[in-house]
Amino acid sequence: MTAPDTTPPSAPATATATLVDGTVQVRWTAATDDRGVAGYRVHRGSDASFTADETNRVAAVTDLAFDDPGLAPGVYHYKITAVDVSGNVGTAASVAVTIESVEPVVVTVPVADDAMVVQGVPGTNYGASTQISSRGGTSQIESLLSAPLPSAPNGTALTRVTLKLRTSTDPSAGTVEPTDFAIIGDAWNESTVTWNTRPSTPGAGAGRLGQAPAVNTAYTVDLSAASLRPLLGQNATLRMTGTGADNLRLWSSEAANSSYRPVLVLEFTPLSAPDTAAPTAPTGVQANAAGTTAGLSWTAATDDRGVVRYDVHRSTTPGFAVSAGNRVAQTAGTTAQDGPLQPGTYVYRVVAFDAAGNAGPASDEVTVIVTAPDTTAPSAPGTPAVAVTGGSAQVSWPASSDDVGVAGYDLHRGTTAGFAADAASRIAAVTATTYTDPGLAPGTYWYRVVARDAAGNASAASAAASATVVAPVQTVTTTIAVDADAAGYANTPTQNYATSNQLVSRGDVGQQSFLKLTLPTLPVGATLVSATLGVRTSTDPSAGSAGAHDVHLMDGAWDEATLTWNNRPTTVRGTSPIGTLSGATATNTPYSVILAADQLAPLLGQSVTLRVSTTSADNLRVFSREATSASQRPTLTLTYTLP
């Protein structure tokens, strides 16, 4: 069974294009192919860099010739490609031809922008004036004129430029003194330019108007075609300056009569003489090796009629002479690729060609070294270290080594110690020896690292290291209001103080306060972690206390509306207080009492009674739940965590 044919033909070795009696005769030598050339495709474009495709194909032939009649004057570029029986298309051979025009081309370009600038009023803009002017001497006037120059038509060169002007009707418009015109490159704006902001460079002399003595009269100035030729295809600015104190005034581009406005007349002469001038040598040639391929680039050569292609030549010996035998590439652009190449040192030179086939001098040599492929893998990275912060894992590892250099690392993650470090488990490719793996769900993760060099060689995977991400703890805080509170006084043992806005605690005369609260039932799996009783000392001058006031859990039923000293609860639950308030010395100030959460936890979902009492003779007074402001009333704050 025959393998599919995937090899394209070579490019035709040589190609020529000759104008004979108005017909372009394109000829080439045969291409080669491992299974045979079936035919040739001829493409035509307007510049050397055009891409050969179906939109510009002008012929498909089986012989080595194509005639292209009836073309207008201009430069035509042809590309010829060979096609084999399997439809594989080879690289193109390129050639160009110039069809000369028989008549000169005259192009009239109106001045687009003009303005005079006056030394005597240096901040004034005259862009909208219908006149421009020039004058030398001690009170100078200059004018600027700008026009968009066209590109030269194909096959022509700019040979003559005439500036047409007309003096205005101002009685002093004429002058018997010369007026100079120079080409300048500085930027300016018609609507804003003034004497102070005018372009200041002298520019290159382009022409002189000898005299213009009559008013409202047409005059012409011959300008230097050679000076303006480099500006074709872009804007050109002329500076008009007087040589003496005699003023010249001309109509500007704002003149009402369009025939009075300044214009440039450009004459392009056909390049009818044979082209015998060769291009310059390409400069700035650079070459770099990427694997087994050399990449070349250079600065374009110049030619009086245009460069159409470059030949790239290769040798292994410095100082070699270019020839067809060492040509390795042809291209219309300023880059080329050469490869694959065996390891070694290669020397390149580039030659430019114009459409007439004139070859320029070879460029300076440039050398590139192709090294043997790197097949040695880096060493395995050291065992990673993994630290967990929240849902992120910070992975770091000791660096690998390589005979050429480590280019980067692949980080792999798995859920078991023996997971495979492959494409499916890779989570990152980095150049550093650290990586943060974010957004991890709770669980245990294993990490391994693989090093890679620039050639793509991969090391063995590092040993695996693990880290465990735990579920974040969700904390909930709830605040509970007091259901009932009242104080009992030993000196008035049957008196009820339910409506008082204060609670008291004093040991020497027997004063105690009781608070009833309903503890909430927590969600399933929740854990109580803290409990805080919040109180605020009253505004009574004796409210503050330096003594210690204990909070006990109490057993026994009581009612806020009937509690007295005689019927108060007296049975203490447990052997010690669940919290103590100390240092509440200021009046009208909030204080907190941390309560034992472990003693309150078994009572969740129930009603509990807290007693505030002391052995101290230093009185404590705090607001009760009957206080006018809710912020003054006692509360219990519970904090718990959810599973």
Strand order across the beta sheet in which 293-299 lies: 283-290, 293-299, 335-338
Please report the pLDDT score of residue 269 as a whole number.
Answer: 76
C-beta of residue 201 within 8 angstroms of C-beta of residue 185? yes
How confident is the model at residue 493, as a pLDDT? 96
Half-sphere exposure of 315 (CA within 13 A, CB side): 14
C-alpha distances out from residue 61 to 28, 57, 95, Å: 12, 11, 17
Beta strand pairing status for 74-84 and 37-45? antiparallel
**Residue 476: partners with Cβ closer than 8 Å, 6 or more residues away:** 526, 639, 640, 641, 642
Backbone angles phi, psi at 25, to 5 degrees: -100, 110
Q: Is the dihedral of CA 104, 108, 113, 117 positive or negative?
A: positive
pLDDT at 14: 84
Angstrom CA distances, 533 to 235, 551, 570, 592, stand at: 86, 9, 21, 6
Over the chain (643 residues), the average pLDDT of each successive run of 10 is 83 86 86 91 92 92 90 87 92 87 82 94 95 93 94 82 95 93 92 94 89 94 89 93 93 95 89 72 93 93 86 95 93 92 94 88 94 89 94 94 93 95 95 95 95 92 93 90 96 95 95 96 93 96 95 96 96 94 96 95 95 95 96 96 87
Return contacts of 313-316, CB within 8 angstroms, 24+ apart: 313/348, 313/349, 313/350, 313/351, 313/362, 314/338, 314/346, 314/347, 314/348, 315/346, 315/347, 316/344, 316/345, 316/346, 316/347
Please report where in the chains the tokens 């300076």 appear, as a residue: 364
Q: Which residue has the tokens 């100078």?
A: 140
The residues, any chain, with a CB within 8 Å of residue 493's CB and separated by 6 or more, are: 564, 565, 566
φ/ψ of residue 133, rounded to 5? -150, 160
List domains and CATH numbers for the chain.
15-99 (2.60.40.10), 106-270 (2.60.120), 283-370 (2.60.40.10), 385-469 (2.60.40.10), 477-642 (2.60.120)
CA angle 23, 28, 33 (to 5 degrees): 145
Inter-residue contact 177 to 242 (CB < 8 Å): yes
For the chain, the first-to-last Cα distance in angstroms comes to: 70
Give the CA count within 13 Å in the CB-facing half-sphere of 246: 13
What amino acid occupies position 485? D
Q: List 260's β-bridge partners, or say none.
A: none
Contact 608, 520 (CB under 8 A): no
Question: Helix, strand, or coil here: 542?
Answer: coil
Helix (H) or strand (E) holding 397: none
The DSSP letter of residue 84 is E
Residue 227 φ/ψ, nearest 5 degrees = -75, -30
Q: Residues 450, 456: contact at Cβ < 8 Å?
A: no
| Rounded Cα gap, residues 514 and 507, in angstroms | 15
List Cβ neighbours of 445 (8 Å cut-off, separation of 6 or more): 386, 393, 413, 414, 415, 437, 466, 467, 468, 469
Please give the Cα distance from 282 to 300 (Å, whole number). 6
Cβ burial, residue 55 (10 Å; 0-12/13-18/19+): exposed
Q: How many angstroms separate the CA atoms of 93 and 29, rounded? A: 10
**Cis status of the peptide bond prior to 340, with omega within 30 of 0:** yes
How far apart (Å, rounded) are the C-alpha atoms in residues 497 and 504?
11
Name the pTM for this structure: 0.38
